[in-house]
Structures are given as structure tokens and as C-alpha cells.
Amino acid sequence: MAWVYLLLAGVCEIGWPIGLKLGWTEQGIRWLWVGFAVLCLTASGILLFYAQRDIPMGTAYAVWTGIGAVGAFLVGVWFFGDAGTMVRFVSAGLIVLGIVGLKMG
């Protein structure tokens, strides 16, 4: 169950940068999106807390941040027009390989 918590924590870790990105416009702060970011931050931390009861701290933290980093990168490319160069995709793939290595180790 700890790995499920960790996966869900990683998904929430993708949500808060989205909320912050959408929470600011030329017209000012969009509080609903900022609230979404805070909710995702809170849920992510709580789920990581539960995951670390059974998963070593270093592994849990690396997997959690890796899911968040790769997920935020992909969302940025797909929905926000961020650069999707080969170097960036290969680099994200290396993060995924590191996550897999930590899980297998």
C-alpha cells in the first residue's frame, strides 16, 4: 500500500505547479487555482508521510520528486507549450530510469 501512497503523492506533486501556473494571469490572482495548488501540496505531503512508514526515506523522496518533475515536464510540454526537445525528453527518461532503479534496488 505504501507504493500506492507514493504514486498518488507523486501525482499530487504534479498538481501544485499546474495550480500555480494557472493561478496567475495578467488580471491578477485566480484564487481557485491557488487553492488547488495548496490542496495538492498538502495531499502530496500527507501521502508521502504515509508512504515513508514502509519505504526508506531516500527512496521515497527521490521517487516522489522524480514523478513530480517528469510529470510537470510532460504537462508543460503538452498543455503549456514548453520546449519539448530531444535532450529534454532524454533527460526526463534518465530520471525515470533512476526511479526504476531505486524501486528495483
What mean pLDDT do residues 60-78 have?
A: 96
pLDDT in tens, 74-85: 999 999 999 999
Query: By C-alpha distance, which of 20, 104, 19, 102 is closest to 61?
Result: 102
Number of domains in the chain: 1
Q: Mind listing the pLDDT tens digit for each residue in 7-24?
A: 999 999 999 999 999 999
**Angle in degrees, CA 53, 48, 43, rounded to 5:** 135
CA torsion sign, 12 to 23 to 71 to 58? negative
Provide the pairing of β-strand 28-29 with 24-25: antiparallel
Q: Which domain holds residue 16?
A: 2-104
